[in-house]
Amino acid sequence: MRSRYTAFALGRADHLLASWHPSTRPHSIELEDDVEWRRLVIVDTERGGPFDRDGVVEFEAHWRATDARGMLRERSRFVREDRRWLYVDGDVAPAAKLGM
């Protein structure tokens, strides 16, 4: 999860696609250049330990753009294949925009 957040922050679509499970991976990703990802907060985790084959991470990612700021909250599902964690999908909470 942290590496995917960092990839969003650095604009690394290649890492996002490489860490996405093939069954749900899009053909491409368009990242927004004007969004600055500011902070990641891990809210909850389920499984995802060294002997688990799947896991769930609930997080809040705080962002800022030219004229707005906000927070994305998602509950993401991951699976481990060949000792690598891959993002499968997630349930996104309604977007929250914060005042500037």
pLDDT in tens, 50-80: 999 999 999 999 999 988 999 999 999 999 9
CATH code of residue 90: 3.10.450.50
pTM for this model (two decimals): 0.88
User: Percentage of residues in the chain with pLDDT exceeding 70?
Assistant: 94
Average pLDDT, the chain: 93
Distance of CA 73 to the CA centre of its chain: 9
Reply yes or no on whether the pLDDT at 49 is more than 90.
Answer: yes
Altogether, the residues listed in the chain come to a count of: 100
Instruction: Indicate whether 98 pLDDT > 70.
Output: no
Domains of the chain: total: 1
What is the span of the domain harbouring residue 41? 2-98
Alpha helices (H) in the chain, listed in sequence order: 2-10, 13-18
